[in-house]
Structure 1
Amino acid sequence: MAYRPGTRFRKTAIGTGVVLLLAGLNAPAAIGFAEEQYHEYRISRPGYLAKYGSWQVQDTPDSYRLNAIHATLLHTGKVLLIAGSGNDQEQFDAGTFRTILWDPEKNSYEEIPTPADLFCAGHTQLADGRLLVAGGTARYELLDGDVERAGGRMLVKNEDPDKPVKLKKGTGFIAPSGLVYRTTAKVTVPAADKKTPKRGKAVVTAAEANVFVEAEEEGRGYVQDRQAQYAVEGLTGKDADNVYGLAQKLTMEKQDFQGIKDTFEFDPVKERYVRVDPMDKARWYPTLVTLPDGKVLSVSGLDEAGEILYGDNEIYDPETRKWSKAPKRYFPTYPALFLTQGGKLFYSGANAGYGPADRGRRPGVWDLEDNSFTTVPGLTDPDQLETASSLLLPPAQDQKVMVLGGGGVGESEKSTPRTAVIDLTKDEPVYKEGPRLPQGTRYLNSVIMPDDSVFTSGGSVDYRGRSDSDIHKAQFYDPDTNSFTRAADPEVGRNYHSEAVLLPDGRVATFGSDSLFADKANTRPGTFEQRIEVFSPPYLHRIDEEDRLRIGRGPKRPGRGKEATYEVAGAERVAKARLMRPGSVTHVTDVEQRSIQLDVRKGDGEVTVTVPEDPTLVPPGWYMLFLADGEGVPSEAKWVHVP
């Protein structure tokens, strides 16, 4: 008898005779019902399951359903689902920010107090297993026609070298005309820099900080279309001379989402957020990527005025819990950056959102040492990389990166079925076309599997699923044959704001989806998809559960470049071993997942593996150790910590 995930999969028992009987009634409703029931019957057959796998929607209590924007598998085996305000203006205005911790083994849920609006933050796992979450939402966008108060960026200057200036939210900036504009957030301006040469007069350089301001009253009378200097309300004497604001213009044009500087570490053991040193720059839609030394690079994002950061990147040190400046380089928001062997970063070209169409879109290799960037050619449909999926193909030693699908910039109707693979071990790497997807696809989620395949699912043809264009399909990509094979169709459509992660038992969990409209005619507003659907791959249906490989006792902290021996039930059947970094995904961007091939030596009831020494191949952190047999059926994972 093949493996059955118990209540995770519901089998429909109905025979073809019943279907034919109902169809014979020649009633459309009866025929539709019969077809649906026959479909359920067909996809529950053992042969179908062993070839295509199965899906199961989880039974989630209403009180724990949320708008999942971010999903991370923690080393406790639980999945952290972060919504923040969940792309819901009412929740934002009410200060309702949510995080749910889901235990897939027990299908249990826990509400986690959420200290700020982490909607559209960046995140990655630190070497000790804590999750670093940086940025989020300070203010929701206002579209053209919806802006009622003129506003824009105010550059606050402080010429006093003796003290910083702290201005609370709502501080007024007074124009030469007497009109007042108030800050939408608090702002701190450092003390000015003072240098005293051995000879001559001291030189003071003003410190500065940005803040968004808006008119204290509605109407076009507050529009300022030229640069001006603004006095700060409430300051007198020297303070009034030293502290002032500069604005290029304050308009009633569209106002984009605005980011925050807040940074937190989520402790997976104590299951709570811990506030740490904030970033220097506010960020909304940033990418966080782990470096070989365990530090984290934060790249791109929209700042506190809703403008994209033009190259102001930062590095987080988990030891000091502080940020420092990183090499300057511009990318559109949520760029897909992968750590490669040798320590350079590869930008696949995939991204998710904001930035001009003619800047920062070309893929290439970024050397942080000298801040050089070498573009790579060969990618077809280069204008359709927004909302594309990309990943470091398994095994990571091959150093191949794949791009799948994508769409045009912004609300474009364009989408492409293009896939492409680049071999970064080549002296002059070039993208080469891979097999095409069934149709043009945006928002495709791609997950590395323990058998070295890549599972891809969901997406939509049009922007945010417009015109009922969700794609209810899934497929496996085989890096060895460079081809796709079909998988079972998911019940739930997934587009914008969707995620997928590999679970320790070898299944894949999918979350979220944020359709713009709820009908084909695009007349009804869409609603956020809150159901969790889990895919059980074909390999789980090809073997009895008790016959799967089982990893027993062995070191929890295998050393780099050293052997580690584990007790294994079925050791003689082991064909491969993989270290798999757990997924941490948002906006179809997961730059952390990777699968590392391990050398294997089999013994009597035990298996010895060797962890590569290179931290650019195996960044420090927690990994899932999977063993697979010759048929590609994996064990359940054993969590190990690579220091």
Structure 2
Amino acid sequence: MRHLISPRFRTTAIGAGAFLVLAGLNAPAAISYAEHTYHAYKIDQPAYKARFGHWDLLDVPQKFRVNAIHAALLHTGKVLLIAGSGNDEESFDAGTFETVLWDPVKDTFKLIPTPEDLFCSGHAQLPDGKLLVAGGTARYEVLDGKVERAAGPMLVKNEDPDRARTFPKGTVFRSPDGREYRTAREFTVPAAVKKQGDDGKVTVTASEERVFVEAVRKGKSQVKSEAAQYTIKGLRGKDRQNVYGLAQGMTLQKQDYQGLDVAFEFDPVAERYMPVDPMEEARWYPTLVTLEDGRVLAVSGLDDMGQIINGKNEIFDPETKKWSEAPDRYFPTYPALFLTRSGDLFYSGSNAGYGPAEKGRRPGLWNVEDNTFRPVPGLTEQDQLETSASVLLPPAQDQKVMVLGGGGVGESPKSTPRTAVADLDAEQPRFVPGPDLPQGTRYLSSVLMPDDTVFTTGGAEDYRGKGASDILRAQFYDPEKNAFEPAAAPVVGRNYHSEALLLPDGRVATFGSDPLYADPENTRTGTFEQRIEIYTPPYLYRDSRPEVRSGPKELDHGDSATYTVSSKRKPASARLMRPSAVTHTTDVEQRSVALGMEQRGNKVTLSVPEDPSLLPRGWYMLFLTDSAGTPSEATWVHVG
């Protein structure tokens, strides 16, 4: 008997067959699509969010998308994103410097006029709530083989005791053989110092100022290997004799980035930069760290010649707005320095970017007053501390510092999953191993959370994400369990020039990333990541959270303060959390300080530690956490 097949069935059968053939030919793509669809479904389920949290991309209008190199939370609740030139030489040459202020509550943005290139500066929170920003970029690097003009440092001398001299950018120095070299910036040479001795004789000591110069003409003919004295083009008579330049030589060697000496306070209320006295040293890649008396110490960086500063440090006084000399001590650039309960600074060994592999890599406690340094041993793989993360574990009273991951010096492909913890309260502090990260990780972002965990996210396995090595993972470190717990994975990869910080509502915002390449084969130039991704932790998917309804905004060391609270569950802990100011995986500002707590009905009385080295003056987020580990939204308080 003959079977009849309808035209409709025949068409369907042919279509199904074609689909099966196509599916067979494209099996990986079909499976990938199915996996992606299922993954998107799974991570959006309430049970998944309650266990692992959830990531969301923020819709940032095009005009406010910047290359976020620095991120700082202000006491207004807004986030300052500093790009400067954003590692973009065209923007630098055009003088286009950017800063954006983001309001996480309203999701609004504002462009802030940026007076200098604050790219790769340092920053610290000041006692009054302003943000000190110091240093930045005076000149971009020129790599070996790309240098077209012979260049080098010029020491300008002034023997005139009656007159200081200011010279514009482009001032030309002429060598005895007629070759000319021009300055890269404006500079001032003070008047010489005239003194009369006890014998009545008058001596004049020439003043001096160092400036970088490059040849007016291109090519090898402008290279000079011998030392010489240079005249300044345009000066005549005694001026020509009194003011001159000295240089050891001019070369076509690689020229590193050069630093600025500028300093500004960013006012969160006026929402603008305000200049303060410049630093004595120009600094690029410096660390600024708050001391127990509220002053700020600036260390390390590349100077105005592109050379790493060999230990010259200085201190900013917020009262006078001036800088003064600090004890000399060498560190690689962006060293992680933490204020400890004794007032000493603990150097974890973490750093970013510049400095020889054999110098300044050893962790230890630095007494700034008497300039002594006590090494803290036990840390393995000290050759892989560059681009590692460091945090003062919560609560700060425990005085434990954790180092996470890191990589080899410079463009090394090496990275480590190693973590380690140093107990600084021990009689003989030393590092002990912690749990490994899932894989070797550099550029890891690490954020203190109100429930005393540490949220870590992103990073890359290779230098600047080479070989498509960005790590799309996140996890929580629990100090009590000394273990990692998994969290939802981010969508956006973050490596060099990336940041993360805690928001007042308990979420974590992530910014930036500056990959060297855009493909696994390292053939296409990377693009700076301008998307903002926000992580909502599991504790914000619970049925309720505590609320601090009223209480004082001003606290003093050693005081007690009573707050009215509303909480479905019993309040369990209270923390004062210092807002972040983070760049290059370095955030020495964030700390979480435990408060004593007594509860009577809907009133909670909190006691504030007396020690300013544990709790430096300034603005803090007050979080109240319930017995389930759910924090309140932060209440801003000022410790004065």
Question: TM-score category by the smaller chain?
Answer: over 0.9
8 A contact 1:571–1:607 mirrored in 2: no
Matched, 1:165 2:130: no
Mapped partners of 1:281, 1:56: distance in 2: 42
25-34 or 429-438: which moved more?
25-34
The CA deviation at 1:22 is 11
Amino acid of the residue matched to residue 185 of structure 1?
A: R
Report the secondary structure of 2:563's partner residue: strand
Deviations 1:263-319 (A, max 9, x none): 111110011111111111111111111111111111111111111111111111111
Shift of the 375–205 alpha-carbon distance from structure 1 to 2, 3 Å rule, reads farther
The CA deviation at 1:24 is 12
Partner of 1:7: none
Report the secondary structure of 1:383's partner residue: helix
Mapped partners of 2:463, 2:203: distance in 1: 53
Matched, 1:625 2:625: no
Please list, as runs of the form range in 1=range in 2, the aligned pairs for 1:391-406 lying within 5 A after superposition. Answer: 391-406=391-406
Partner of 1:102: 102
Mapped partners of 1:336, 1:195: distance in 2: 43
Please list, as runs of the form range in 1=range in 2, the aligned pairs for 1:292-311 lying within 5 A after superposition. Answer: 292-311=292-311
Partner of 2:361: 361
Matched, 1:557 2:557: no
8 A contact 1:584–1:592 mirrored in 2: yes
The CA deviation at 1:196 is 2.1
Report the secondary structure of 2:38's partner residue: helix
The CA deviation at 1:25 is 6.1
Partner of 1:586: 583
8 A contact 1:502–1:583 mirrored in 2: yes
8 A contact 1:23–1:34 mirrored in 2: no
Report the secondary structure of 2:554's partner residue: coil
Deviations 1:117-146 (A, max 9, x none): 110011111111111111111111100111
Report the secondary structure of 1:48's partner residue: helix
8 A contact 1:565–1:606 mirrored in 2: yes
Amino-acid identity (%): 65
Please list, as runs of the form range in 1=range in 2, the aligned pairs for 1:337-376 lying within 5 A after superposition. Answer: 337-376=337-376
Deviations 1:130-178 (A, max 9, x none): 1111111111110011111000111112222222221111111111211
What is the TM-score of this pair, normalised by structure 1?
A: 0.95
Report the secondary structure of 1:477's partner residue: strand
Deviations 1:371-421 (A, max 9, x none): 111222111000111101001111101111111011111101111111111
Amino acid of the residue matched to residue 85 of structure 2?
A: S
Partner of 1:487: 487
Mapped partners of 1:344, 1:194: distance in 2: 41
Partner of 1:44: 44
Partner of 1:315: 315
Deviations 1:330-374 (A, max 9, x none): 111111111111211111100011111111111111111111112
8 A contact 1:572–1:602 mirrored in 2: no
Partner of 2:637: 640
The CA deviation at 1:190 is 1.8
Partner of 1:607: 604
Amino acid of the residue matched to residue 369 of structure 2?
A: E
26-35 or 321-330: which moved more?
26-35
8 A contact 2:546–2:631 mirrored in 1: yes
8 A contact 1:572–1:605 mirrored in 2: no
8 A contact 2:569–2:627 mirrored in 1: no
Amino acid of the residue matched to residue 478 of structure 2?
A: D
Report the secondary structure of 1:485's partner residue: strand
Partner of 2:335: 335
Shift of the 612–622 alpha-carbon distance from structure 1 to 2, 3 Å rule, reads same
Report the secondary structure of 2:592's partner residue: strand
Report the secondary structure of 2:598's partner residue: strand
Mapped partners of 1:430, 1:630: distance in 2: 33
Report the secondary structure of 1:113's partner residue: coil
Report the secondary structure of 1:552's partner residue: strand
Please list, as runs of the form range in 1=range in 2, the aligned pairs for 1:379-398 lying within 5 A after superposition. Answer: 379-398=379-398
Mapped partners of 1:153, 1:459: distance in 2: 37
Report the secondary structure of 1:464's partner residue: helix
Shift of the 558–572 alpha-carbon distance from structure 1 to 2, 3 Å rule, reads farther
Amino acid of the residue matched to residue 607 of structure 2?
A: T
Mapped partners of 1:418, 1:331: distance in 2: 22
8 A contact 1:475–1:486 mirrored in 2: yes
Matched, 1:574 2:579: no
Partner of 1:147: 147
Amino acid of the residue matched to residue 450 of structure 2?
A: P
Shift of the 24–46 alpha-carbon distance from structure 1 to 2, 3 Å rule, reads farther
445-454 or 39-48: which moved more?
39-48
Amino acid of the residue matched to residue 52 of structure 2?
A: Y
Please list, as runs of the form range in 1=range in 2, the aligned pairs for 1:222-621 lying within 5 A after superposition. Answer: 222-541=222-541, 543-544=542-543, 547-570=544-567, 573-621=570-618
Amino acid of the residue matched to residue 612 of structure 1?
A: P
Report the secondary structure of 1:427's partner residue: coil
Mapped partners of 1:193, 1:572: distance in 2: 71
The CA deviation at 1:604 is 1.5
Report the secondary structure of 1:442's partner residue: coil
Amino acid of the residue matched to residue 567 of structure 2?
A: G
Mapped partners of 2:267, 2:20: distance in 1: 56
Mapped partners of 2:391, 2:229: distance in 1: 48
Mapped partners of 1:467, 1:32: distance in 2: 21
Task: Answer with 1 or 2: which has the greater Rg.
Answer: 2
Mapped partners of 1:367, 1:582: distance in 2: 25
Mapped partners of 1:342, 1:44: distance in 2: 47
Mapped partners of 1:160, 1:343: distance in 2: 45
8 A contact 1:23–1:31 mirrored in 2: no
Deviations 1:586-609 (A, max 9, x none): 000000100000000101111110
191-200 or 54-63: which moved more?
191-200
Mapped partners of 1:205, 1:22: distance in 2: 90
Gapped runs of 5+ residues in structure 2? Answer: 1-18
Mapped partners of 2:485, 2:252: distance in 1: 51
Mapped partners of 2:144, 2:386: distance in 1: 23
Deviations 1:619-642 (A, max 9, x none): 010000000011111000000000
8 A contact 1:23–1:30 mirrored in 2: no
8 A contact 1:211–1:305 mirrored in 2: yes
Amino acid of the residue matched to residue 349 of structure 2?
A: G
8 A contact 1:226–1:249 mirrored in 2: yes
The CA deviation at 1:235 is 2.1
Mapped partners of 1:24, 1:267: distance in 2: 61
Mapped partners of 1:500, 1:574: distance in 2: 28
Shift of the 23–70 alpha-carbon distance from structure 1 to 2, 3 Å rule, reads farther
What is the TM-score of this pair, normalised by structure 2?
A: 0.95
Mapped partners of 2:157, 2:428: distance in 1: 47
Partner of 1:3: none
Mapped partners of 1:158, 1:326: distance in 2: 27
The CA deviation at 1:449 is 0.3
Mapped partners of 1:246, 1:356: distance in 2: 28
Partner of 1:14: none
Mapped partners of 1:162, 1:186: distance in 2: 21
311-320 or 73-82: which moved more?
311-320
